[in-house]
Amino acid sequence: MKTLKLKRGKEDSLLRFHPWVFSGALVSMPDDVAEGEIVRVVSNDGALMGLGHFQIGSIAVRMLTFGDEPVDDSFFRTRLADALRLRKALGLARPDNTAYRLVHGEGDFLPGLVVDIYGPTAVMQAHSPGMHLLRETIARQLVALEGLDVTNVYYKSDTTLPFKAGLNPENGYLIGGDAPTVATENGLKFNIDWLRGQKTGFFVDQRDNRTLLRSYSHGRKVLNMFCYTGGFSVYALDGGAELVHSVDSSAKAVTLTEANVEMNFPGDTRHRAYAEDAFKFLASVEDGAYDLIVLDPPAFAKHRSALRNALRGYQKLNAAGIAKVAPGGLVFTFSCSQAVSREQFRLAVFSAAAQTGRRVRILHQLTQPADHPVNIYHPEGEYLKGLVLYVE
Ligand code: SAH
């Protein structure tokens, strides 16, 4: 195993268990280390800091352990068992809730790895070349994990691996195949399209926020913007909404939403879906036509460089939503951009509210659910933020 040496003083963040080593912290960028190789990281004095996956880029090493344990089958068995124990303790793995996140990267001490569970299928994403190289090992351990009952592992990393690594990963089943595609979330059924859908096929991270929305839906006219699979729409209908309109610019998303609504509420005429641009749709909405509006757009800032434009985007979108909602109505507004902080998002929503001149109060401050834990030493793991606004 190769050894990478840190510049003097650069061990401090590792001593505080932050799992990333930036390339600038290394004495020199090694040229004989391959992408995805497991390396030893030592301080300038030669003290072992731990082992991690090497990667070419600004994050040079993602730490897997701050000890000297071998990264082998048993390593993954233990980490995955820990992850499952937490989900079981949270009561998430139940017959009426078969969709949840089992591994949330750094939040489960497995940087570069995401695993979502949909009943008997695990959908796995590698965000680092190191995890890509170990995909078969991880898949085997997932299937062998006691209490998980997974028989299929679908690998989906074509959009998550660094393009420059040239790994050309192919999406496909590593184990099993031809798996059932309907999973349940809090008793509601969803068709999960991991083959063609975004991310792992479903946004499990909105589960708690959808549950909150359900509790406010009774008798309301709901508009679900950026509906994708219609998660919020299905919960709103379940909560007794008077009507639910779902909007997404993608026709495929609209079809997915309609299918999910039909599966849970066959023949229900309260729902309609529109394939249209969100901003255009909102502009044509009559003032007060809806008394609950959900704004859950895709990440406007994928990188820090896009921050200014992203904040302007959030302000514009929220101003449109706040302006249109009926007096006494609610706006559920979200940002899943990791580069946008909680404070920045709130400031963008504040500016939007001020622009409309309406009286706005924050009822709830929302975040990601417990199966997306944030490693306290890695605050970057917190990405989802939301506000529930009461608009008069
Ligand atoms: N709210 C969803 C997740 C949203 S993902 C859930 O709970 O599952 C973001 C969605 O926004 C995608 O489906 C994408 O097709 C859609 N989208 C992106 N840009 C859009 C635009 N300008 N107008 C409408 N929808 C858009």
Task: List per-residue pLDDT tens for the chain, 392 residues long.
Answer: 999 999 999 999 999 999 999 999 999 877 899 999 999 999 999 999 999 999 999 999 999 999 999 999 999 999 999 999 999 999 999 999 999 999 999 999 999 999 999 999 999 999 999 999 999 999 999 999 999 999 999 999 988 888 777 788 889 999 999 888 999 999 999 999 988 888 888 999 999 999 999 999 999 999 999 999 999 999 999 999 999 999 999 999 999 999 999 999 999 999 999 999 999 999 999 999 999 999 999 998 777 778 999 999 999 999 999 999 999 999 999 999 999 999 999 999 999 999 999 999 999 999 999 999 999 999 999 999 999 999 99
Question: Are 270 and 342 in a shared domain?
Answer: yes
CA distance 321 to 206: 19
The answer to whether the CB of 62 falls within 8 A of the CB of 130 is yes
280: CA distance to ligand 1 center in Å? 14
Question: Are 234 and 368 in a shared domain?
Answer: yes
47: CA distance to ligand 1 center in Å? 48
Q: Of all protein residues, whose CA lies closest to atom 7 belonging to ligand 1?
A: 231
**CB-side neighbour CA atoms (13 Å) of 173:** 11
Question: Are 18 and 90 in a shared domain?
Answer: no
Is 172 contained in some domain?
A: yes
Is 195 contained in some domain?
A: no
Q: Mind listing the pLDDT tens digit for each residue in 143-184?
A: 999 999 999 999 999 888 887 777 888 899 999 998 889 999
Question: Are 249 and 317 in a shared domain?
Answer: yes
Residue at a domain's end among 40, 65, 90: 65
Question: Are 363 and 250 in a shared domain?
Answer: yes
The answer to whether the CB of 176 falls within 8 A of the CB of 212 is no
**Total number of domains constituting the chain:** 3
Q: Of all protein residues, whose CA lies closest to atom 8 belonging to ligand 1?
A: 203
Give the per-residue pLDDT at 301: 79
CATH of the domain at 83: 3.30.750.80
Give the per-residue pLDDT at 180: 87
CATH of the domain at 60: 2.30.130.10
Give the per-residue pLDDT at 188: 98
Question: Are 107 and 227 in a shared domain?
Answer: no
Residue at a domain's end among 126, 159, 185: 185
Question: Are 53 and 132 in a shared domain?
Answer: no
For residue 359, the tally of other CB atoms under 10 A from its CB is 10
Give the per-residue pLDDT at 31: 82
Counting from 1 in the atom list of ligand 1, the atom nearest the Cα of 248 is 25
Q: Which of 223, 248, 274, 296 to mutate to test the pocket of ligand 1 (most atoms within 8 A of CB)?
A: 248
Strand order in the sheet with 38-42: 2-5, 38-42, 48-54, 59-65, 20-22
CA distance 246 to 258: 9
For residue 335, the tally of other CB atoms under 10 A from its CB is 31
Question: Are 28 and 136 in a shared domain?
Answer: no
Is 351 contained in some domain?
A: yes
Residues with CB under 6 A from ligand 1: 203, 206, 226-229, 231-232, 248-250, 253, 277-278, 296-298
CATH of the domain at 338: 3.40.50.150
Question: Are 61 and 79 in a shared domain?
Answer: no
Task: Write out the residue range of the structural domain in which residue 173 sits.
Answer: 73-185
Counting from 1 in the atom list of ligand 1, the atom nearest the Cα of 229 is 8
Counting from 1 in the atom list of ligand 1, the atom nearest the Cα of 232 is 7
Is 191 contained in some domain?
A: no
Question: Are 313 and 253 in a shared domain?
Answer: yes
Question: Are 227 and 282 in a shared domain?
Answer: yes
Question: Are 20 and 61 in a shared domain?
Answer: yes
Q: Of all protein residues, whose CA lies closest to atom 12 belonging to ligand 1?
A: 228
Is 194 contained in some domain?
A: no
Is 196 contained in some domain?
A: no
Give the per-residue pLDDT at 305: 79
Is 103 contained in some domain?
A: yes
